[in-house]
Chain A
């Protein structure tokens, strides 16, 4: 089954005519994603690779059934575009841009919750159900079908892990990028709950990092609710306290969110933790043998 995205998911691209929007729309279509429409205010009536472009999401919705949308809209306009997609009733919204003001992220998260929209991001690479549908900017060649579900706070690091898994013969069921910002729509716990129910996913890899408490909360959830094997990889072991490592959340403050604390919480929940990316496939293989 996979989670969130399926072979028949119909996708809208907001900001389809921009540089990144058009490049990645082509990549998504090549991967097999059913991109049915695009939106670009003022460019209605044009087409990209045969995909019709509309001025507004409402106009696109008049002609197409829209299951999911991805935003390439620049950060200052992303809140408006996200509201527009949620208001039009998409079930999954992937909010790609980085540097979205945190108050905008709060507003979008709150509205998505009211409407029951699954919000992925902001500051995410997207979601891919391998071999079926990818909504995002991840390099396609690494996402081959398999039985490992992956959920990550970080983008390129997630590709790294998925690439290492593929090299070791493990494909992926669904890979979810939570986003690197402090306020994002999905948590590890949300995705773990979905993957626990998914018939295609046999093991789950969590890609986390220092800072915040998302991994600790996930550990509590895993202990009580997850029966499938979970492996974690955490970045930032060498990071000094008080220095923000790029992501808004990646900082050890007042001793909280440290590498050691997260490892302890995860180990307590029976989750083995890899300290370096290349250790992940071995731990996955071990967990599947049990």
Chain B
């Protein structure tokens, strides 16, 4: 889950990382009031997309009147397809240097990594690799002060500025671990005279840890269907075809999509019903797929922890109680397969044994309807 910049900065403030004076507002008049207190300000639209600077999502105002005008223009507009309903109004900083700091997780190394660069301010993707300092951290000891001091040395910092950057790095690591962050990025970290200030905040929280992060605000980036799917424990991604797909396991779901494409069809979605989905969950998943009115549905189950008879029972339940108005192709093998096939037979469906035959059939049905 990504946090809006202003939420990230609230988190920074809580941990003592300096951010520019300012606040978040939802109406232009509030921007005027804030600018009246602060002076020259930067006005930043709060959307979960990078590249705000390039697409007009960030502007400067020297007077309260200008701040209100700018706010009025931004609020209610759309940026990269996202509605702007909040803006951050902050003191415009005198910028002497711009640094880059980030903490993230390297899956290949299986370690947290600290990234830093003396070339902050621009998109880090555009910074040449040799100008990025990457340090893999040992989760057994975490980010110790000696590591932070070494980072400041390599960034060419000294004195009070170096000391503040060390302090910020240690606080970042605390947030990273205590708040279950997957990514924590400050770009730029501004050196303004003797002061070091986080001018931006990018924070992504691990979705699997949200259950223990009750203090964090919730940010919704999913479509309504994706949200409904998530609530019943399914992994769902909307696509633009007409063949609805349900399978158990991310890999086999992807393989099902590949097969549909191979036979010339187009999948309407990716839906991984997960390991061990029971009758109720599977029935809800089916209802979700039906709601988008596909031409056909393909269910591809290779039962391990998922039991074939549960899937078949869920299908029977939905068919009898809600009705399934489109043809359904089912492939069923694995745990309790025989009982599952029996249930389907009682409901007038002969399950396939091979997934590519099932996929070919689904594509054929979609083409004919």
Contact = CB atoms under 8 A, between A and B. Distances in A.
Interface of A: 20, 24, 75-76, 98-104, 106-107, 109-111, 114, 125, 137-139, 152-160, 163, 180, 182-185, 187, 207, 209-210, 212-214, 217, 235-240, 243-247, 249-250, 254, 275-278
B10 interface: no
Contacts of B306: 156
A240 B239 contact: yes
Contacts of B105: 102, 106, 182-183
Contacts of A103: 177, 180, 206, 209
B59 interface: no
Contacts of A111: 140
A159 B337 CA distance: 14
B251 interface: yes
Interface residues of B, number: 53
Nearest to B357: A278
Contacts of A212: 107-108
B272 to A, nearest CB: 4
A155 B249 contact: yes
A153 B107 CA distance: 13
Contacts of A247: 250-251
Interface string B144-179: 000000000000000000000000000000000100
Nearest to A19: B276
Interface string B246-264: 0111111111011111100
A279 B291 CA distance: 35
Contacts of B251: 152-158, 180, 207, 209, 235, 246-247
A9 B355 CA distance: 35
Nearest to A216: B108
B110 A183 contact: yes
A249 B254 contact: no
B333 interface: yes
B235 interface: yes
Interface in B257-287: 257-262, 267, 270, 272, 274-276
10 contacts: A24-B305, A111-B140, A139-B303, A154-B250, A157-B302, A163-B302, A182-B105, A209-B250, A240-B239, A246-B254
Contact of B259 (A139, A158, A159, A276): A276
A239 B209 contact: no
Contacts of B267: 238
A212 B155 CA distance: 29
Interface in B39-57: none
B270 A102 contact: no
Contacts of B270: 239, 243, 245-246
B111 A209 contact: no
A124 to B, nearest CB: 10
A226 B145 CA distance: 42
Contacts of A24: 305
